[in-house]
Structure 1
Amino acid sequence: MGSCGTFSVNVKKRDIIAAAMPIQDHWLPMSNLDLLLPPVDVGVFFCYKNSLPLDESVNIVRKSLAEALVPFYPLAGEIVQNNLAEPELLCNNRGVDFIHAHADVELKNINLYNPNESVDKKLVPLNKQGVLTVQVTELMCGGLVIGCAFDHRVVDAYSINMFLTAWAEISHSKPISSLPSFRRSMLNPRRPPVINPFYNKQFFPLSSLPPPQTSVLTNPLISRIYYVEAKDISYLQMQSSFNGNQKRSKLVSFTAFLWKIIAECEDGFKTCKMGVVVDGRKRFDKLSLSNTMSLSMQNYFGNVICIPNGEANSSELKEMPLGLVAEMVNEFVYPAMTEEHFREIIDFVELHRPEPVVGRIYAKLDENDGEAVVVSSGQRFPVNSIDFGWGKPQFGSYHFPWGGQIGFVMPMPSARNNGDWIVYMLLLRKHLDLVETKGMNVFKPLTPSYFNL
């Protein structure tokens, strides 16, 4: 079937959706892990074949959103600066910007492979003022696209998934399966903070970084969406565990394969950096928390992530077998999967406040500093759970054009529920060219025919 990105979107109505019940104004501080995040937005969108009248569907989304904002009240607030010029959440029920739009395109003709043309600022809105903006877009075929933009300083992917699942549950008048916890004290720094010199090489004060290179504007990152078949994921895992290596996870195997591809770029750089997002909720030792706190940590709403990373010579990466590269990935990811690692990051940020710090993976300190890519697992992405009453999504994906020149890759489960992965990529053009040549047998461009749209 054909696809196009050159369609127009017209706004029918703009509104603000506040929480369905009154919320007393109060301040919610950012944790030290929140303070590591820059002011960027995370987008997510879902495509539906709608079986209800469009007005009825939009009203369901509006009503359930207002109800969902009661337990998830920080999303109805706004971020302001405190007297130290640090961001802080003002929970004032300002409300969520809500956009009702119409696109002159059918679902089967949306070019999902190229979200730069079809999704960015069309189906996923800009988040201009509040913490969250929602857009519901009617399509010519009667279908719907629900797009959201979240401020990353307030939420990580785990938190977004928690909210989306609860929002859908509320639309069916079901009890929320996971009530959020905003207990920031669980991520308080230790007294006194523990100093680990290791983090002096992993983080830098923002003021110490050189100004952005002009190539950021002349050579921007580009978004693409691919699918990877289950058999290819299993094959990568087998190859990564070859020659007697311990069986690697699918994510580690995938990351190693991508790292080797990126290293193929003949651009004169001597090194190539790879980072992997680690969620810390399950890393906190239950012995150090009461049973109540341990339960709350799994429901914690906010950022509990770190990005351990490795750096290797590009020429060596090209020649290494996949299993050895996977071992390198495992070597820098495994130490980060502990409570102590997260506690030390929290302490490091505390020692430098109010000066913002940034992770090494984001920093290009000189012209010989190599390219970098971050992989974030979206395997918990609840695509098949986001049913508002007219059926499950035909497709869902994150959309994260975060700026700069650090690539971002997120594999998610396919809505077909067959073990395939949907892979969102935000990479430099030269890296995408390698993905589509060196990795063409694994990464297939996503087309509407994949979902029989």
Structure 2
Amino acid sequence: MGSCGTTFSVSVKKRDIIAAALPVQDHWLPMSNLDLLLPPLDVGVFFCYKNSLPLDESVAVVKKSLAQALAQFYPLAGEVVQNNLGEPELLCNNRGVDFIHAHADMELKNIDLHHPDESVERKLVPLKKQGVLVVQVTELRCGGLVIGCSFDHRVADAYSINIFLTAWAEIAQSKPISSLPSFRRSMLIPRHPPIMNTFYDKLFLPLSSLPPPRSFSPINPLISRIYYMEAKDISLLQSKSSFNGNPKRSKLVSFTAFLWKIMAECEDGLNTCKMGVVVNGRERLDKVNFDKLSLSSTMPCSMQNYFGNVLSIPYGEASSSELKEMPLSRVADMVHEFVCPAMTEEHFLGLIDWVELHRPEPAVAKIYVKMDENDGEAIVVSSGQRFPVDSIDFGWGKPQFGSYHFPWGGQTGYVMPMPSTRKNGDWIVYMHLLEKHLDLVETKGMNVFKPLTPSYLDL
């Protein structure tokens, strides 16, 4: 990797606040019941460009188009505040987005993207101190630049941010916006009366049910790594998952099953391990909303445009020793079995009702919680296959690389596979895992997960 891994510092040239280009009347926007399942976490995303316009010109383009994009995506220019019930709410007051223009005395080809904790965290992806969104443009010694953002997960999921990023780049190129956002919370209102279903007690937990913190438990920090997977290896996993007459499993189910088997190899004295998958509910809820909302409305009412969180996290738990012995096809069956119930309209309608029946008490996805000392380790897989890395062109070419970055601070691992900019079926895989699990990824999975290198990215 040559001089990769060289440490570098980032200096701030200028700080600004970018408000929406059009005036926004102050108003409150409630969180939906599905937003309320998210704790106050920030998610990062970044894009690396090998070349750009003259740097000051590039920064001017990014700033101007951001102000124009915020006119449509105005919640991102607001603030999250508490209402009188103690629940978060969006104050759409156009406080603006903190914008940082920075410089790194480093060439893109020498940035060690395989180890983003050292190279990306708080260097190329900024720390959000206030507001909903922060943006940083970092110019590099080679004439390239990196655009990094952090956003409040309570306001948007990755699907929503993908809509925003695409629109922002389209505006920069004076193109029409391909997908206008909808903030219609009426699309996610509970039924009247809400229907109680104890099924959701298996997946989500009111905060009052959490065990007290165990001060004697050592906390092992999770570590971030970025790998790539070649298309042929993904296809091989898929064919092994569908072996022996099994139904053909999706690439994501096959990938998740393979990761679960690797995780089970951990000789840590724990008998079980958990695997969760983030499910996007938009397609499940589209039909019910078209029935419920007037199609003559001028507002986009398809859930495909909905800006916010529409997520559930079903998970499975299994014996580590059994997982190790099972063929990949059987583990893929298990992943399919726990994910399948969440792939329905009724699942999301029921989850909205479940939150309503517990409000205003906050709740959390159970896979993020260790209920006792002997609870097995857990990992959540979130598909980033809709990540529009190829579309984030501000006028000087497509990014050479892009990735989400989510070192969220808990004890549950997080993995997101995304499409490669090579457009050849390869995946880029962001992992935030315990060191013992990363060690297994790099030994048991070494033929599948390859460390991201400048040569792979053609830097």
In 1, are the aligned partners of 2:182 and 2:301 still within 8 Å (CA)? no
Extract unaligned runs of 5+ from structure 2: none
- Equivalent residues in 2 for 1:5-404 (5 A)? 5-213=6-214, 218-284=219-285, 286=287, 289-290=290-291, 292=295, 295-404=301-410
Q: Secondary structure at the match of 2:190?
A: coil
Structure-2 change in CA distance of 1:76 and 1:216 (3 Å): farther
Which amino acid in structure 2 is aligned with residue 378 of structure 1? G
For residues 44 and 287 of structure 1, what CA distance do their matches in structure 2 show? 32
Report the AA paired with residue 252 of structure 1. V
Paired letter, 2:423: N
Instruction: Confirm or deny: 8 A CA contact 1:372 1:407 kept in the other structure.
Output: yes
Indicate the RMSD between aligned Cα atoms, in angstroms: 1.3
Deviation at 1:213, TM superposition (A): 4.6
Deviation by residue 1:296-333 (Cα, 9 ceiling, x = unmatched):
21100000011111000111001000000000000011
How far off is 1:52 after superposition?
1.3
**Shift, 1:205, TM fit:** 1.2
Displacement of 1:2 = 2.7
CA distance in 2, matches of 1:433, 1:28: 44
Instruction: Report the Cα distance in structure 2 between the residues aligned to 1:68 and 1:213, rounded to whole angstroms.
Output: 45
Give, in whole Å, the separation in 2 of the partners of 1:263 and 1:401.
Answer: 22
Secondary structure (helix, strand or coil) at the match of 1:284 reads helix
Letter in 1 for 2:409: G
| Aligned partner (choices 420, 435, 441) of residue 441 of structure 2 | 435
1:423 maps to 2:429:
yes
Taking structure 1 as the reference length, the TM-score comes to 0.98
Where structure 1 has 5 or more consecutive residues not aligned to the other structure, the ranges are: none
1:223 and 1:325 map into 2 onto residues whose CA distance is: 25
TM-score (norm 2): 0.97
Aligned letter for 1:207?
S
Using the TM superposition, name which of 192-201 and 325-334 deviates more: 192-201
Kindly tell me: are residues 203 and 448 of structure 1, through their superposed partners in 2, closer, same or farther at Cα, counting changes over 3 Å? same
Tell me if the contact between 1:5 and 1:117 (Cα under 8 Å) persists in the aligned partners: no
Percent identity over paired residues: 79
Question: C-alpha offsets along residues 122-176 of structure 1, whole Å, 9 cap, x if unaligned?
Answer: 0000111010000000101111000000100000010010000000000011110
Q: 1:385 to 1:215 in 2, by over 3 A?
A: farther
How many residues align? The count is 453
Q: Secondary structure of 2:321's match?
A: helix
CA deviation after TM superposition for structure 1 residue 211, in Å: 3.7
Matched residues in 2 for 1:215 and 1:449: separation? 45
Instruction: Give distance in 2, aligned partners of 1:276 and 1:219.
Output: 23
Cα distance in 1 between the residues matched to 2:288 and 2:205? 32
Q: Bigger CA drift: 422-431 or 282-291?
A: 282-291
Q: Aligned to 1:332, what secondary structure does the other structure show?
A: helix
Q: Deviations over 1:379-404 (max 9, x none)?
A: 00000100001110000000001111
Using a 3 Å threshold, how does the CA distance of structure 1 residues 184 and 364 change in structure 2: closer, same or farther? Answer: same
